[in-house]
Amino acid sequence: MTKDSQTFDGRRWHDMGGDAAGRIRTDQHDFSLWEKRVDALMILASAKGHFTVDGLRRVLEDMGPEAFETMTYYERWIASVNQNLIESGVYSTAELAQRMSEVAARGATYGEANK
Amino acid sequence: MPHDHHDHLSPSGHPYRPDDDHPLTYWQQMEIAVRELLIEKGVTSAAEINAQIDAMDARSPSNGASVVAKAWTDPAFRDALLADASAATRDMGFDIGPMKLIALENTSDVHNVVVCTLCSCYPRNLLGLPPDWYKSRAYRSRTVKEPRKVLAEFGVDLPATTQVRVHDSTADMRYVVIPARPSGTDGWDAGKLATLVTRDSMIGTGLAKAPDIT
Amino acid sequence: MNVRQFMRVRADMPPGHVRTPAYLRGKVGWVERQLGPSPNPEALAYGRQGDALPLMRLRFTMAEVWGADALHPDDTIDAEIYAHWLEPAEAPHAP
């Protein structure tokens, strides 16, 4: 939390309705394939009952304001999807750890790291 | 495989985020690992993931434009849409999944605008994924407090006699605005009218386009 | 015109995942429509079954929400609020 403990009133960082903020920037980017895959994994895993959109949001909120500023939208999403899947027992942290290392060993680009 | 391009990347001409040909990021590494584990555990399949991506790519503001144009031209449909927008859009043949939709009608007296202050809820199963600005801190923060200033930034200046209704998507419902039908379109069919309905007009940050006077 | 049913949003400030925006807490609005029972997101977020709670759309005036800061007091904000965040209330005083 960026507010200190003496002045923090319990309002959380993501709950931003009414805050002062600057001009709205309308530049736009298209989503890349890996981002679309993150979106699809969220929809499919939640549709199959492994977690809910509220679980997705809960982890995003708990990641804090720094993540909101420093990570892209789908970077935050894959972090939250993964956290929820580990919590619901779909796979273990050890399984994820080994697989991520295998993925990185395949190549230096996203294309090469896909089997 | 070195080139894993998908056939259905968006063709709108905006720049792409780094993907195949850029150095692998930690989060991309995680996406590949999570996807492979979900497939191996039988939660999903590669084909299902591709089908889901195709389904989302197929959703776009043109779906909503068809709904709006039908509401403009078919009073019974307009009534059905305002009574139960989920059922009415499904009856038109749109696959909106489990989405619960409410349609908000703009009139000469009322202008509706939609925001999600807590995250970025959006009627994605009808309109596709939201624009980046919809997810921004500036839009989420300001729209509930100074909606007319926000609308002015989007080029919409409303008279003081028009009431602004902001809708904060805080829970289960998703919202689509039915913009006011532009004048000068008497006798137009729904297909032609749909070309005037923009994405922003269905969020409430825009108006339907005026017909070209030529 | 139908008689408005006014409700006050509880002013609680708990930690954790809730779907009641802070800017509406303690504010009085009227029921725009009932949406029927919906599972409690405060349980779903933690992997538990959520009890189905009445969910309703409340409408608030800018005057009620922002007080003297309201730029256009008669403009409104609608939001969906779960029943356990709501208490019956009197109509707010005109600003």
CB < 8 Å from C in window 43-62 of A: 51-52, 54-55, 57-58, 61
Average pLDDT over residues A69-82: 97
Average pLDDT over residues B145-170: 98
CATH classification of the domain holding C53: 2.30.30.50
Interface residue A11 vs chain C (CB under 8 A):
yes
At B6, the pLDDT band (50, 70, 90 cuts) reads very low
CA atoms of A43 and B49, how far apart (whole Å): 9
At B1, the pLDDT band (50, 70, 90 cuts) reads very low
Interface residue C14 vs chain A (CB under 8 A):
yes
**Contact call for B144 and C77, based on CB within 8 A:** yes
Average pLDDT over residues B61-86: 98
Please determine, for residue A73, whether its predicted confidence score (pLDDT) is greater than 60: yes
Q: Is residue C10 part of a domain?
A: yes
Could you list the residue range(s) of the whole structural domain that residue C57 is in? 6-88
Please determine, for residue C76, whether its predicted confidence score (pLDDT) is greater than 70: yes
Q: Chains with ≥3 Cβ pairs under 8 A against A?
A: B, C
Interface residue A87 vs chain C (CB under 8 A):
yes
Q: Is residue C28 part of a domain?
A: yes
Neighboring chain C residues of A84 at a CB cutoff of 8 Å: 47
At B213, the pLDDT band (50, 70, 90 cuts) reads low
At B8, the pLDDT band (50, 70, 90 cuts) reads very low
Average pLDDT over residues B151-176: 97
For chain A, percent of residues with pLDDT exceeding 90: 91
pLDDT of B186-208, one tens digit each? 999 999 999 999 999 999 999 99
DSSP C94: P
Whether domain B61-203 has CATH 3.40.50.720: no
Average pLDDT over residues C17-42: 97
Select from B118, B160, B163 the Cβ nearest to the Cβ of C21.
B118
At B5, the pLDDT band (50, 70, 90 cuts) reads very low
Which residues on neighbouring strands pair with residue C76, listed in sequence order? B165, C61
Q: Is residue C1 part of a domain?
A: no
- pLDDT: which is higher, A39 or C2: A39
Angle B190-B191-B196 (CA atoms, 0-180°, nearest 5)? 85
pLDDT at position B21: 76
pLDDT of B100-155, one tens digit each? 999 999 999 999 999 999 999 999 999 999 999 999 999 999 999 999 999 999 99
pLDDT at position B41: 98
Please determine, for residue C60, whether its predicted confidence score (pLDDT) is greater than 70: yes
Amino acid at B41: K
Q: Which residues of B are catalytic?
A: 116, 119-121
Q: Where are the alpha helices (DSSP H) in chain A?
A: 33-47, 53-62, 64-70, 73-87, 93-106, 110-113
Interface residue A10 vs chain C (CB under 8 A):
yes
At C17, the pLDDT band (50, 70, 90 cuts) reads very high
Per the structure block, which two tokens stand in for A99?
A: 């697989």
Domain count, chain C: 1
Nearest to C38 by CA among C26, C23, C54: C54
Could you state, in order of their start, the residue ranges of all structural domains in chain A? 33-113
Distances, alpha carbon B77 to alpha carbons B55, B102, B167, in Å: 25, 14, 23
Residue-averaged pLDDT of chain A: 95
Q: Give the SS3 label for residue B169.
A: coil
DSSP for B35-92 reads HHHHHHTTS--HHHHHHHHHHHHH--HHHHHHHHHHHHH-HHHHHHHHH-HHHHHHHT
Average pLDDT over residues B169-180: 98
At B2, the pLDDT band (50, 70, 90 cuts) reads very low
> Residues of CATH 3.90.330.10 domain(s) within chain B?
61-203
List the single residue in A with minimal CA-CA distance to B47: A40
| DSSP H or E stretch at residue B168 | strand B163-168
Q: Is residue C26 part of a domain?
A: yes
ipTM of the complex: 0.96
Interface residue A86 vs chain B (CB under 8 A):
no
DSSP B30: H
For chain C, percent of residues with pLDDT exceeding 90: 91
pLDDT at position B15: 58
List the single residue in A with minimal CA-CA distance to B97: A47
List the single residue in C with minimal CA-CA distance to A15: C21
Residue-averaged pLDDT of chain B: 92
At C75, the pLDDT band (50, 70, 90 cuts) reads very high
Select from C20, C38, C74 the Cβ nearest to the Cβ of B172.
C38
Q: Which CATH number does the domain A33-113 belong to among 3.60.40.10, 2.60.40.680, 3.40.50.300, 1.10.472.20?
A: 1.10.472.20
Angle B124-B126-B131 (CA atoms, 0-180°, nearest 5)? 40
